[in-house]
A and B are shown apart, each in its own frame.
Chain A
Amino acid sequence: AQTVTQSQPEMSVQEAETVTLSCTYDTSESDYYLFWYKQPPSRQMILVIRQEAYKQQNATENRFSVNFQKAAKSFSLKISDSQLGDAAMYFCAYSLNTGTASKLTFGTGTRLQVTL
């Protein structure tokens, strides 16, 4: 079974600074997707960024970028120029590429605090 591990229960960053959230996963598959989801206090899950395992290039979305290391099974999220609105729970997630809809396996989450 696939597992996703987030070893940082809480992180803190100052506004405008950069922070990196860690995620490792375990799978015997070679074709899969990785995601970072944000869950603010409203508890609405918001997709931050996604990475396709067969793509070597790291995904980026504005201030958010990932460092995808397939061999090491590592998928970290870097948030640049942190903003107060970035404060939330961040979940790393994995899904297998089955060609059809596939379930998500989530990590335990990292709570990000953004301070002034």
Chain B
Amino acid sequence: GAVVSQHPSRVICKSGTSVKIECRSLDFQATTMFWYRQFPKQSLMLMATSNEGSKATYEQGVEKDKFLINHASLTLSTLTVTSAHPEDSSFYICSVPPGTPFGETQYFGPGTRLLVL
């Protein structure tokens, strides 16, 4: 069964609106979750590390004020794309590292396809 869920799976919005994407760990508690972005026919690029109880850590070039991350609990992280524009259209994927005894294995959510018109 699914270990990590994401909601919604697909969203279409108008330019200038904000979109919230949820990532839930169903089987593990996670103090850390990762958010990746995948443009068409490209690889996954890490956007940020979501930390429960503290601020997210953003990768270079990712605007923290545009991509708001809230790690509300040990099983939920949300990514809010604020004032979305067409160039933000992409596939957003979260991952959860369950930790010991699974080592560095990470489990991925099914992804959220965002289309900004």
Expressed in whole angstroms, the Cα–Cα distance for A47 and B34 within the complex equals 16
User: Do residues A106 and B43 form an inter-chain contact, with CB atoms below 8 A?
Assistant: yes
Asked if B99 is at the interface of the complex by the 8 Å CB criterion, the answer is: yes
Given contacts A100-B32, A104-B106, contact A109 B97 (CB under 8 A): no
Chain B CB within 8 A of A108 CB: yes
Convert A80-104 into 0s and 1s, putting 1 for each residue whose CB lies closer than 8 angstroms to a CB of B.
0000000000010001010011111
A95 touches B93 (CB 8 A): no
Flag whether B44 is at the interface (Cβ < 8 A). Answer: yes
A44, A95, A102, A103 interface centre (most CB from chain B within 10 Å): A103
Q: What CA separation (Å) do A106 and B49 show in the bound complex?
A: 15
Residues of B within 8 A of A97 (CB): 104
B13 at the interface (CB under 8 A from A): no
Q: Which residues of A contact B91 (CB under 8 A)?
A: 43
Task: Judge whether B105 and A47 touch: CB under 8 Å.
Answer: yes
Is B1 among interface residues, defined by CB-CB distance under 8 A? no
In the complex, the answer to whether B43 meets A108 with C-beta atoms within 8 Å is yes
A50-B104, A52-B103, A101-B97 given; A107·B49 CB < 8 A: no
A62 CB–B CB distance under 8 Å: no
A50 to chain B minimum Cβ distance, whole angstroms, is 6
Q: Given contacts A91-B44, A106-B44, is CB(A101)–CB(B32) below 8 Å?
A: yes
Q: Which residues does chain B contribute within 8 Å of A37, judged by CB atoms?
A: 108
- The residues of A with any CB-CB pair to B shorter than 8 Å are 33, 35, 37, 42-45, 47, 50, 52, 91, 95, 97, 100-109
Q: Which 5 A-B pairs have the closest CB atoms?
A: A45-B108, A101-B97, A101-B32, A33-B104, A106-B43
27 pairs from A and B in contact (CB 8 Å cutoff): A33-B104, A35-B105, A42-B110, A43-B93, A45-B44, A45-B95, A45-B108, A47-B106, A50-B104, A91-B44, A95-B106, A100-B32, A101-B49, A101-B99, A101-B104, A101-B106, A102-B97, A102-B104, A103-B46, A104-B46, A104-B95, A106-B43, A106-B44, A106-B45, A107-B43, A108-B42, A108-B43
